Amino acid sequence: MDFERQSGLFLHIASLPGPDGIGTLGAPARTFVDYLAESGQSLWQFCPLGPTIPLHDNSPYQSYSAFAGNPLFIDLDELAADGYLDDIDRPDFDPETVEYGPVREFKEDRLETAFENFEADASEADREAFEAFKEKSGAWLDEYALFRALRSHFDGKGWLEWPEECKMRDSDTLAEYREELADTIEYRRFLQWQFDKQWSALKAYANDRGVGFVGDMPIYVDLDSADVWANPESFKLDEEREPKYVSGVPPDEFSDDGQLWGMPVYDWDSIAENDYDWWVSRFERLLERVDVFRIDHFKGFESYWEIPAGAETAREGEWVDGPHEDVFHAVRDELGELPIIVEDLGEVTDEMDRIRTELGFPGMNVAPFADWCDPESRYHPASYDENSVAYTSTHDTDTVNAGTRTSTMNSRTVWTTPSTTRAATSTGTSSALSGTRTRSSRWHSYRTSSGSAARRGSTCPAPRRTTGTGGSGRSN
């Protein structure tokens, strides 16, 4: 798919400033859209939007659902304007960092109150809109709401620790719980409706001002998710629904043991037999929310590193052939042209490049990874391909500004290649500019990237609020 030459900023929703201790979809997000439009920017890129898992440090790349939105992003002032909240009574939150524990406790209390008020006093029009959302959403919403209700019912345990009948999805047992937990299930549906309602309004606001949304799709989903629980046939699981193999990447020059991500790998043969239906639905859902999206770890569609479950390190894995372009052809047959950016960083095989080129998807070029002394090096702006997206930084690196501030003094300016972690909120060695701490170093990256052949460009601004444990300048 051909893209026009554009530029924008990468900032996750959680990092927006605002009174709720975390970014929200109301005034904080609209203010940022206004800033982008006034600055002549036409793209806003962000991390995945799903409900995050506290066990994984609330990384946006590990979620309870590939389809649901994060209720913590729901704007409480918007709920008050709709008549569902009277007194928000906010505590004082850290303005610099998302304190997920206190934020979650505060927002869940207010969201439960909003749902109770909706149940008691909602207008007929709102009730009809809610019913229409439930009908339109269909299976993913029903499965997700039941999953979250059961998880709460079983004291927050992962689904593999649930009673056997629930773990194995016995139909009679699930029917009983749908009746017993009806109120909790409806509450979870209500939150998704509110997220969808606020998101749709925000996207319309942005698009009206010439700003498009760039989303993010992690290739893998978390084991403790509605996706795996409701679709076990799509993953390589054993008879007890435990993973046979998990995902990761092999050892390389940055990691002697490789990376053991731990998410279950797909059973692509089974998925193909079902005409890639789950992937079609996943793409369709994301395209309802964004104008363009990035696919994380595109390499995994060509071949993926499969590690036996229980292995201590990723060293024990092996490469397994993926679906190649077949999955994208199946999705495109159903949905039409796909506005996709692919994350093709790291090792790029000839076959992987062939697939990307055949599909017409632009790849990524990240300036901090360049050898600035060699204009022919892969990530140097002088060598960028036209069908690519140029980044001065990403969610896995410090911002250019922070990288320059924390750099060491050297006689010449060179970028050092980072050792990054996959989970956005995990601690890792962020990329740093090794050179003099001058404004010119930062602007050299901006100027050379924007002057490259790449059709799109993105950078991470210094965020108002950070949500992870990486460098102080990171936006995630």
Residue 202 belongs to what H/E stretch?
helix 182-208
Residue of 75, 222, 344, 396 marked active site: 396
Cα 423 versus chain centre, distance:
10
**To 10 degrees, the CA torsion angle through 464, 470, 471, 476?**
-30
Cβ 249 vs Cβ 48: under 8 Å? no
**Residues belonging to the chain:** 476
Provide the terminal-to-terminal Cα distance of the chain, rounded to the nearest Å: 29
What residue type is assigned to position 5 of the chain? R
Q: In what order do the strands lie in the sheet with 388-391?
A: 340-342, 292-295, 212-217, 43-45, 6-10, 456-459, 388-391, 363-366
CA angle 261, 264, 268 (to 5 degrees): 125
Rounded to whole angstroms, the Cα distance separating 156 from 148 reads 9
Catalytic: 273?
A: no
325 CB-near residues (< 8 Å, 6+ apart): 301, 355, 358, 359
Confirm whether 296 is a catalytic residue: yes
122 touches 153 (CB < 8 A): no
d(CA 54, CA 99): 11
Instruction: Mark whether 216 is an active-site residue.
Output: no
Which residue from 235, 233, 239 is spatially nearest to 219, judged by alpha carbons? 235
- Are 308 and 245 in contact, with CB atoms under 8 Å apart? yes
Contacts of 239 (CB under 8 A, 6+ apart): none
326-338 as b/e, with b when 16 or more CB fall inside 10 Å?
ebbebbbeeeeeb
Contact assessment for residue 329 and residue 343, using Cβ atoms and an 8 Å cutoff: no
78, 296, 344, 398: which is the annotated catalytic residue?
Answer: 296
Torsion sign (Cα): 331, 337, 342, 344:
positive
216, 343, 344, 398: the active-site residue: 343
Q: Can you state the angle between helices 326-335 and 277-287, rounded to 10 degrees? A: 60
So which residues are the catalytic ones? Answer: 296, 343, 396
